[in-house]
Amino acid sequence: MDRNIKLEIEYDGSDFHGWQVQPGLRTVQGELERGVGTIVNHEVKLVGSGRTDVGVHALGQTANFHTQSGLDQEAMLRALNGVLPRDVLVKGVQEVEVGFNARFSAKSRIYRYRIFLGRTAILRRYVWEVLYQLDKEKMAEATRLICGKHDFSSFCVAESAKDDNTCRVKSSGWEPDGGELVFTIEADRFLHSMVRSLVGTLVEVGRGYRSVSDFGEILKAKDRTKAGPTAPGCGLYLLEVKY
């Protein structure tokens, strides 16, 4: 009998070339497919809720695969974590309906971006170290402009742009956390590098290089060349996928 298995996954993206399988490169999907294949005794094709780039982390990535293995969920969870490397952890295994697809069944995704205000030796692979004074009020004001339904062409990798670059942002905002400034955003979909491009441009607003009205014009321009730099992957986390 065909079974559809959903995985909830956490990983440290520091030593991976992103999520998606790439020949000759270490990827999260590649490690998981090898691990799952070992457990169920056949090759599997894992469907992820979304692709994360080089260095990007996840606390709540989801993926699914089909199998005829009779292994129960608890045994599968223990066995998987026994064969996976330490920088990948399966937090949950759940049998779901056959038609479930981790990518296309998702209703929204939540990402978090961590900025460390200064230098850090311990956290350097998990945050973006920003050494400049930031105007947090202006950053918050600009961030409010992205809530709702917009074309985010100005904040995606140009070569990956689709016919429709519209996304509906349900919530977004900044919160201080000790020596960090943390950006959280939830949307129905995300474009390639969208969160990192938004953060990079919002930091320019915080530094005074761009005004809040400039940010609004960038959003309306639908042109990636108008926006700021792409923030480093190390500060980005896929926090949760909602179904």
- Would you call 163 a catalytic residue per the annotation? no
Of the residues 2, 12, 53, 177, only one is catalytic, namely 53
Segments of the chain assigned E as strands:
3-11, 47-48, 57-67, 88-96, 108-117, 128-130, 148-151, 166-177, 180-187, 236-242
DSSP assignment string, 56-113: -EEEEEEEEEEE-----HHHHHHHHHHHS-TTEEEEEEEEE-TT--TTTT--EEEEEE
The C-alpha atoms of residue 114 and residue 126 are separated, in whole angstroms, by 8
Establish how many alpha carbons lie within 13 A of residue 100's alpha carbon, considering only the half-sphere containing its beta carbon.
Answer: 24
Active site residues: 53
